[in-house]
Structure 1
Amino acid sequence: MRKHILIVLGLILLVIAGGVVYLAWPDTAKLPADAVTGKRPQIAAPREQVIPTVDVAKVVGWQGAARPTVAAGLQVQPFATGLDHPRWMYRLPNGDVLVAETNSPPREGGGITGFVMKILMGRAGAGTPSANRITLLRDANGDGVAETRSAFMTGLNSPFGMTLLDGQLYIANTDALVRVPYVEGATKITAKPELVIKLNPGGNHWARNVVTAADGKTLYVSVGSSSNIAENGMAAEKYRANILQVWPVDKNWRIYAAGLRNPVGMAINPASGQLWTVVNERDQLGSDLAPDYLTQIEFGDHFGWPWYYWGGYPDARVEPKNPALQEYSKRPDFALGAHVAALGLTFANETRLGARFAGGAFVGEHGSWNRKPVSGYKVVYVPFAAGGFPAANAKPVEVVGGFLDKDGNAQGRPVGVIADRTGALLVADDVGNRIWRVSAR
């Protein structure tokens, strides 16, 4: 009899627990997406999730003549199609455009986390093997369409960022910064890449970016964390969640800034010569937390990860605690919204899209997986004031949208954004497998 009572009690508790999980999952946003943007976003109370909210748009691709929508006064057309997961771009001095056709390296580890990540990657169109290629695109006749395409470099290891410095092309592979000699006008490089510095690979954030500093002598390299909140221990995060400063002649480097969960897009602000970046913040605190952000970076900055977010809000999940860091956690300059997956970044000094889009920054938002309803899946513009920072009451302005169809499926997902030689904005669409060109009418 007692055994039967215990069984019944166990079933009741199971039903109650299941009900709690059902009521709490998936977590739905209680704030409008726009409320978690700007210089002073609303920071909601955390809603911790043991089972993460999963709401990623299913990829269906662009059908027929479908294309993104653009802000009034602009037009959009394909610059290049038929690419293999184009993520990042770099414009060479002669106007040629390099595009990294790349994806995550094979992921190690299994368990529930590995299982969920494989499902997410497949649904989001990110589960295919990396092409490990940099392709050169050339629009010689200036009609806004690349008529020449060549495999510029192959055999790389999940390449992402690219930059030129002193006749060398630097490429940020997932595990190393490498370089090759560059000759203007070349359509192919066969030289074996030379190692500059090694980078710690593996984990959830594989993309490494590189930009040339304003001093013309050093490089900045971004390396995201290997996990959400250092749940595998800080030893696994050695030299991760950092932006590094590299002296390429000597092959020396140092940590330039820290506490940046996943800084991907980096750019030099032309008004100040300072480094700026966009950062993907943490997951599983609810659909309203924590905001991804755009911020200036200075030497010695620490933005709090994994212990703190948005300038000192503690993440109670992280052990051991680090109370001494709280007052030194730098608050970012501009919130872009919760879970938008901000990746692309370029300043508007080289674009020619009209007075409305001059003097600020463009951000490619790849789109959320841990928010309901979804956020991101667009390119936004952040207006800046004359002092070189986002305007006091600025909000992100949608410039390119329509990446989600009427059923909420992803026709494409924006990543890198750069200006072409005419001042049009190029947008790498990694699951639409094309690059879009946005220009003034």
Structure 2
Amino acid sequence: MARFTWIAALIAILPSQCLAQSSASCGPSPSGSIRPSLASGFHMQVVATGLSKPRGILLDQAGNLLVVEQGRGVISAHTINEDNGCVSVGTSSDVTSALNLNHGIELSSDGRTLYASSSQDVYSWNYDSSSRTVSDRTNLVTNMSGSDHTTRTLLLPESAPDMLVVTRGSTSNIDFDAASLASGHSQVKAFNLRNRTDTAYDFASDGLRLGWGLRNDVGIAEHPSSGGIWSVENSADQMTRMGVDIHEDNPAEELNFLGYLNGTEYASQGRNFGYPWCFSAWSVDDLPDNGNLSVGSQYAVDASSASNNENRTDAYCAVQEPARLVFQAHMAPLDIKFNNSGQEAWVAFHGSWDRTDPVGYKVSVVAFDRNGDPVDNLQSTTAARDVFANEDNSGCPDNCFRPVGLAFDPQGRIYVSSDASGEIYLISKASGASIPGTPTSSASASSSASNVASNVNPHVFTGAGILSYLVALLGLMF
């Protein structure tokens, strides 16, 4: 009986705003007929609406939300207000002039240098977070123009802050120029900011190559403990193999490992990942002559998909650098961000047109171990666990949110941009909640009651969160 009295006392001291928050809505409703769906124990808010195709996002050191608005070609800044867990935009202003900025954004560790990209150039500015203004624009990297895949994602690794990583995709669905290193197409490179001269780097001829044969690796992130560089790839559309249409469920989207910039040796760094000749299998049964293939295996494109595959075979593709994980075809991953522990890799799947039944249009989590490697193996078809999705994909892309950029805040909540709907969402995880399909660690299960209580964030409590909290307490008592 004493145990139940103790639990009742704890329930009684839960902040009143937590209980109110479980049923109260925060901020505006999702645009139009969008109906988001959340995993149990998670909470969603709409923070901003009316933006012009918001893509890359980040938080500066003053807590302002910086957004690349692709529709206007600028970076905008938004102050953030919070009242009992309800987060909303205060004032908004443009940080940069219109420079056709379309996706990439980064900020130096001291918060004083802002980076952004157009399809042609990477720029930097001196940045003042108090006034949300920039000055002294510099052109850092150039010669990246092209059609089709025009995003140039940026990353400043914490383990190598003087190196700026830039991704560049293909110029068409099957880009034969990408087979030549000299083209600079479908490559990820790192550029030394300390050693640069007054002349901008030429992407094709300068920089340290982290990988090539990467069709369109948009999302890129550094693992916080290992320093490993990871990217997510959008693979090809309208594919055939031996004259058979295989495009519904092939090729797979990819999670790729690109090595390190922190001095750790990695023999495969800078290797060829196979594009434009090789692609990863998802639905093996749909592939003709699939006897030696499994999920994640690389197979060769044939002359039906490309005018000349230069006699590349499955044997050739088998010795190219493979993906580490694969995802359902056509989900279009556009961002990846690790949480502080490095055990959750959050991935924004934008969704794609090239499938009868739409897929993607969601944010999912991939489990990593403490060594910085994915928990699942290459043959897994369930590595991405869904957290935030559209309730019904049948109306996509017209009546769906389409996730693009991700940004963690200091509380561990994650902002999500949706370019199609012009919105920014905020996803919070209640204390005790877990990623679907991810087992609770033994360390978590043995936590003391005081640790459970100290981890409660009253600003993100939902009905499911309260239930998780109570279940955790009961689990500790019995």
- TM-score normalised by the shorter chain: which range applies? 0.7 to 0.9
CA–CA separation in structure 1 for the residues paired with 2:215 and 2:182: 10
For residue 291 of structure 1, what is the aligned residue in structure 2? 252
Does 1:63 find its partner at 2:32? yes
Superposed CA offset, 1:268-315 (max 9, x none): 111311111110011112111111111221221221000111253111
Among candidates 314, 317, 323, match of residue 300 of structure 2? 314
1:372-413 deviation digits (Å, cap 9, x = unpaired): 211111111111223322213652111111264665543321
CA contact (8 A) 2:220 2:336 kept: yes
1:260-339 equivalences in 2 (<5 Å): 260-285=214-239, 286-298=247-259, 299-310=269-280, 312-317=298-303, 318=306, 319=308, 320-322=310-312, 326-339=317-330
Alignment of 1:153-172 (within 5 A): 153-165=96-108, 167-172=112-117
8 Å CA contact 2:178–2:213 kept in 1: the answer is no
Question: After superposition, what is the alpha-carbon deviation per residue over 1:338-364, rounded to whole angstroms, capped at 9, x for unaligned?
Answer: 0111112111227xxxxxxx8211111
Query: What letter corresponds to residue 170 of structure 1 in structure 2?
Result: Y
Please report how far the alpha carbon of residue 91 of structure 1 lies from its aligned counterpart in structure 2 after TM superposition: 1.7
Per-residue Cα deviation, 1:229-273 (whole angstroms, up to 9, x for no partner): 125785798111000111123335232210110011111111311
Cα shift at 1:192: 4.9
Tell whether 2:49 aligns with 1:81: yes
- Tell me if the contact between 2:253 and 2:329 (Cα under 8 Å) persists in the aligned partners: yes
In structure 2, C-alpha distance between the alignment counterparts of 1:364 and 1:228, rounded to whole Å? 21
Offset of 1:140 from its aligned partner?
4.2
CA distance in 2, matches of 1:261, 1:321: 19
What residue is the counterpart of 2:58 in the other structure?
A: 90
**What SS class does the counterpart of residue 301 from structure 1 fall into?**
coil
**5+ long unaligned stretches in structure 2:** 1-29, 202-206, 240-246, 260-268, 281-296, 430-460, 462-478
**Paired AA for residue 295 in structure 1:** N
Give the aligned residue type for 1:315. V
For 1:155-234, list aligned pairs within 5 A: 155-165=98-108, 167-189=112-134, 191-213=135-157, 214-230=159-175
* Offset, 1:329: 1.1
- Please report how far the alpha carbon of residue 321 of structure 1 lies from its aligned counterpart in structure 2 after TM superposition: 3.9
Number of residue pairs aligned between Structure 1 and Structure 2:
345
1:388 aligns with 2:372: yes
Residue in 1 aligned with 2:335? 344
Q: Which has the higher contact order (CA 8 A, sep 6+)?
A: 1
User: What secondary structure is seen at the aligned counterpart in 2 of 1:289?
Assistant: coil
The equivalent of 2:363 in structure 1 is: 379
Q: What is the TM-score with the length of structure 2 in the denominator? A: 0.67
Bigger shift: residues 233-242 or 170-179: 233-242
**3-state secondary structure, aligned to 2:162:** coil
1:184 Cα offset (Å): 3.2
- Identity across matched positions, percent: 27
Q: Pairwise mapping of residues 228-243 of structure 1 onto structure 2 (< 5 A)?
A: 228-230=173-175, 238-243=183-188
The TM-score, its normalising length taken from structure 1, stands at 0.73
User: In structure 2, how many angstroms separate the alpha carbons of the residues matched to 1:197 and 1:385?
Assistant: 35
Alpha-carbon offset, residue 316 of structure 1? 1.4
Pair 1:76–1:233, CA change in 2 (3 A): closer
| Structure 2 Cα separation of the partners of residues 199 and 274 of structure 1 | 27
The answer as to whether partners of 1:222 and 1:263 remain within 8 angstroms in 2 is yes
Give ranges in structure 1 of 5+ residues lacking alignment. 1-60, 103-129, 351-357
Q: CA RMSD in A?
A: 2.4
CA contact under 8 A between 1:174 and 1:207: conserved in structure 2? yes
